Amino acid sequence: MEHKLLTVLMSVVMIGAATVGAEYVRPKPRKALHFPWSRKPSSEPQQVHISLAGDQHMRVTWISNDKSSPSMVEYGTSTGKYTSIAQGESSSYSYLFYKSGKIHHTVIGPLEHGTVYFYRCGGQGPEFQLKTPPSQFPVTFAVAGDLGQTGWTKSTLDHIDLCEYDVHLLPGDLSYADYMQSQWDTFGELVQPLASAKPWMVTEGNHEKENILMLEDEFVAYNARWKMPFEESGSSSNLYYSFEVAGVHLIMLGSYTDYDEYSDQYSWLKADLLKVDRKRTPWLLVLFHAPWYNSNKAHQGEGDSMMAAMEPLLYAAGVDIALAGHVHAYERSKRVYSGRSDPCGAVHITVGDGGNREGLATKYIIPQPEWSVYREASFGHGELRIVNATHAFWSWHRNDDDEPVRSDQIWITSLVSSGCVADKRSHDSHLRKMLLSP
Ligand SMILES: [Fe+2]
């Protein structure tokens, strides 16, 4: 009797264990990180981050509390031996009762590809180290949007730090400061270990707006602190720009500035697409914040009007992959265009799950749309390794109890290699007609 009871009890325990093991238990949001008051000397560089700034150049950005600290970067390929010096520019901004420190932007270069440089900001303070991206394939991008500054953000950043990557891509929603300007400073400190070592290329999300009726303009802190290479790419706004790495042309679009066919962004996009040479850059990627293909119940339809305006252009140009954030979950589509799967459309991937305080978006539309391949509400990051002109490997890594678990992965074949990309030299090509139309 006793033995029978034990057997039944064991069976219940075994079934329970199997259920727990098979089903991923979704973690709760983690608390905002606590940042102790910094005692750094006022002239010491803070919040150091780097970004690509045109061919073989890098922009170094940092903040000093000392207003007389120079915008100078010393750098070289050996530690402590700075063979070059660059001078930059500085600015500051006020927001209600907050006054920022001195924000320095200094472009260094020309730099060798795939090379480690040692650098120092403002003539003093600690030495930093960066690595420039390679000149040709393979090249690897780390991707994480909607970061914020919680325990999960830290977990995501720790996992990215373990990855061998060349450039970090951030499709919007950085600090979640949400009007509390000092939280831009703590975010800058939080990301410094990674962002001072590899270029961070970002575009704006809704949390970057921070406008208060007539009191404050939009994107004041974002534009001052996260200057991107818009001038270098012929754009008149920090809210949209493009850049190239190895054989990849990347376009960073703005979901929160005008994008209709009469807008500056639309005109700039047409001009930028015309400049793309698929022989030099066979891969064409686009990033923006609010996803166009989203089967999560959160933020439904928010990308629709931008998609209606711009998707035909991107389709005609043969965009390979579109990366978005905003929805705090992960989703990957088939190649799609105009709401349906299409072998010449882009793969759309939402990676808005970096770890912010708002938590995960767990409710999905049922049934799963035909174009949606994989969807999961968990915190994590993506890695895109572009191996050569024809093949790329995408993987998404879930923060599974702080262990990075590769949850979704797929080989992606380039549109150039599948014959979808029109030859822009051909006068009757669809792309050329679209791009040159008034
Ligand atoms: Fe957002």
| The CATH number of domain 37-132, selected from 2.60.40.380, 2.70.98.10, 3.40.605.10, 3.30.1540.10 | 2.60.40.380
Q: pLDDT exceeding 90 applies to what percent of the chain?
A: 79
Compute, in angstroms, the gap from residue 429 CA to the centroid of ligand 1. 36
Compute, in angstroms, the gap from residue 204 CA to the centroid of ligand 1. 9
Structure token pair of residue 75: 């750098």
- Sign of the CA dihedral 220, 360, 295, 321? positive
Position 21 pLDDT exceeds 80: no
Please give the single-letter amino acid code of residue 301. Answer: G
Task: Dump the DSSP string for 233-269.
Answer: TT-S-TTSEEEEETTEEEEE--TTS--STTSHHHHHH
Compute, in angstroms, the gap from residue 48 CA to the centroid of ligand 1. 24
- Sign of the CA dihedral 222, 227, 229, 235? positive
Confidence of residue 431 (pLDDT cuts 50, 70, 90): low
Per DSSP, what are the bridge partners of residue 121?
73
Q: Is 155 exposed, middle or buried (0-12, 13-18, 19+ CB in 10 A)?
A: buried
SS (H, E, C) 379-390: CEEEEEEECCCC
Say which DSSP state 320 is in. -
Confidence of residue 29 (pLDDT cuts 50, 70, 90): confident
pTM (two decimals): 0.91
Position 18 pLDDT exceeds 50: no
Compute, in angstroms, the gap from residue 424 CA to the centroid of ligand 1. 35
Helices 304-317 and 264-275 cross at an angle (nearest 10°) of: 20
Confidence of residue 43 (pLDDT cuts 50, 70, 90): confident
Q: Where exactly are the structural domains of the chain? A: 37-132, 134-436
Compute, in angstroms, the gap from residue 293 CA to the centroid of ligand 1. 15
**Residues, beta carbon < 5 Å, ion ligand 1:** 173, 205-206, 326
pLDDT tens digit string along 54-95?
999 999 999 999 999 999 999 999 999 999 999 999 999 999
Compute, in angstroms, the gap from residue 217 CA to the centroid of ligand 1. 18
Q: Which of 118-122, 344-348, 352-356 has the lowest mean pLDDT?
A: 352-356
Compute, in angstroms, the gap from residue 326 CA to the centroid of ligand 1. 4
C-alpha 77/C-alpha 166 separation (Å) is 18
pLDDT tens digit string along 101-142?
999 999 999 999 999 999 999 998 899 999 999 999 999 999
Confidence of residue 23 (pLDDT cuts 50, 70, 90): low
Catalytic residue numbers, as ranges:
299
Superfamily of domain 134-436 in the CATH hierarchy: Metallo-dependent phosphatases (3.60.21.10)
Compute, in angstroms, the gap from residue 134 CA to the centroid of ligand 1. 31
